[in-house]
Amino acid sequence: MDSDSIDSADFSKLLLGPGPSNVPQRILKAISNNCISHLDPDFFDILDEISKNLKNLFKTKNETTFAISGTGSAGMEAAFANIIEKDDKALIFNSGLFGDRMADVASRYGGRVIEVKKEWGKNFKFQEMKEAIDREKDLKVVAIVHAETSTGSFQPIEELGEYLKNSDIIFIVDSVTSFTGINLEVDNWSIDICYSGTQKCLNVPPGLSPITFSEKALNKIKKRKEKVQSWYLDINLLKDYHEQSRVYHHTAPVNMLYGFNEGLKICLEEGLEERFSRHQKVSKYFDSIIKSTDFGFFVDKESDSLPMLKSLVLPKSISDDLRLEILKNDRIEIGGGLGHTKGLIWRVGFMGCNAEIKNVDIFFEVLKSYV
């Protein structure tokens, strides 16, 4: 990690929730550059650079790799809106809020959604996913969340991609929280559509969704009988602007894209492997201390737990209200539970530049001052 980008970050609050994470000054500075036109050749150079850098980080050669002009949830919607045609059968492996969201989005776009559900905090084993897929005929889409932000659970997807590779099934992966924090290989794992967010391990403010489409996905979209229902997210139109012809579609969010490019550069300067092991190191350190407290792990197995987002079961002695007290008094954000875990768990994030041993120490020091 370029130490400058960590040290120079003057955090007004320490964001140890599930995102947004803290934004290095270098990225904030880029965002505050003067705005130029979305049709300026100088801006096209920036778009080219973004695409090149993003391909490197997604580990893909996909030509159609850029940022959707909306948050990670807009990326999710772009994936399903483009791929799903009326009555397309979509199998969704769901073990958290973002699995629920996938099912909702896919069905809004006319998909026949089959959900395979699992208790929150658990992940799916390849064998059971294979069996679920084999049970279904005429499956068009399989979708899964790589890193479930609502539970802190890690979902291995490599074998699943390998299994779907030679089928006609489109493989959609949500990498909102995993991207640049743990290994993700779009091409090697045969992912057809992969989307992410910017406000997690990338440390760019929320507002954009990096996305990539394989040739296989684009071919399915080309054969659609009806137009993509969303004009704003129609990949046929977005491709024209983001790739060669630069035809105007909508006005790209210029300043956010300045910051996004800076975030991508910071990752590439550090190197992905270095970045992954930094997250692992901090996670192991955090876990080793948690074991000596009254907190429980919401995700049972250590190897199933995300390094950048730790989900903790609150002991009876600690009220969820303490989070807001800490935010107010100590200017440290900790995430609460979503859905039925509200009030029962905390989600503690060490994402991107926040994945530092010192932040773990700060977390426990502050906690100690209250309990």
Contact residues for a copy of itself, defined by CB under 8 A = 10-13, 15, 17, 19-20, 22-23, 28-29, 31-41, 69-74, 77, 81, 101, 104-105, 108-109, 197, 199, 205-207, 227-232, 248-256, 259, 324, 327-328, 333, 338
Q: What's the min distance (Å) between Cβ of 330 and a copy of itself?
A: 13
Question: Is the CB of 272 or the CB of 366 nearer to a copy of itself?
Answer: 366
Question: Is the CB of 45 or the CB of 274 nearer to a copy of itself?
Answer: 45
Distance CA 54, CA 212 (A): 9
Distance CA 48, CA 123 (A): 37
Q: What's the min distance (Å) between Cβ of 279 and a copy of itself?
A: 20
Question: Is the CB of 127 or the CB of 245 nearer to a copy of itself?
Answer: 245
Q: What's the min distance (Å) between Cβ of 227 and a copy of itself?
A: 6
Question: Is the CB of 38 or the CB of 265 nearer to a copy of itself?
Answer: 38
Question: Is the CB of 161 or the CB of 352 nearer to a copy of itself?
Answer: 352
Question: Is the CB of 97 or the CB of 133 nearer to a copy of itself?
Answer: 97
Q: What's the min distance (Å) between Cβ of 260 and a copy of itself?
A: 11
Distance CA 278, CA 241 (A): 36
Backbone dihedral angles phi then psi of residue 212, each to the nearest 5 degrees:
-145, 140
CB-CB contact of 183 with 154 (8 Å): no
Q: What's the min distance (Å) between Cβ of 60 and a copy of itself?
A: 24
Beta-sheet pairing, 193-195 with 170-174: parallel
Question: Is the CB of 121 or the CB of 335 nearer to a copy of itself?
Answer: 335
Question: Is the CB of 121 or the CB of 349 nearer to a copy of itself?
Answer: 349
Where does residue 70 fall: left (phi above 0), alpha (psi -120 to 50 degrees), or beta otherwise? beta
Partners of 147 in beta bridges:
154
CB-CB contact of 20 with 351 (8 Å): no
* Burial group, residue 253, by CB count within 10 angstroms (0-12, 13-18, 19+): middle
CB-CB contact of 258 with 28 (8 Å): no
Distance CA 78, CA 65 (A): 13
Alpha carbon distances (Å) from 19 to 134, 176, 337, 358: 36, 10, 13, 18
Q: What's the min distance (Å) between Cβ of 323 and a copy of itself?
A: 10
Q: What's the min distance (Å) between Cβ of 325 and a copy of itself?
A: 12
Q: CB neighbours of 342 closer than 8 A, spacing ≥ 6?
A: 320, 336
Q: What's the min distance (Å) between Cβ of 182 and a copy of itself?
A: 20
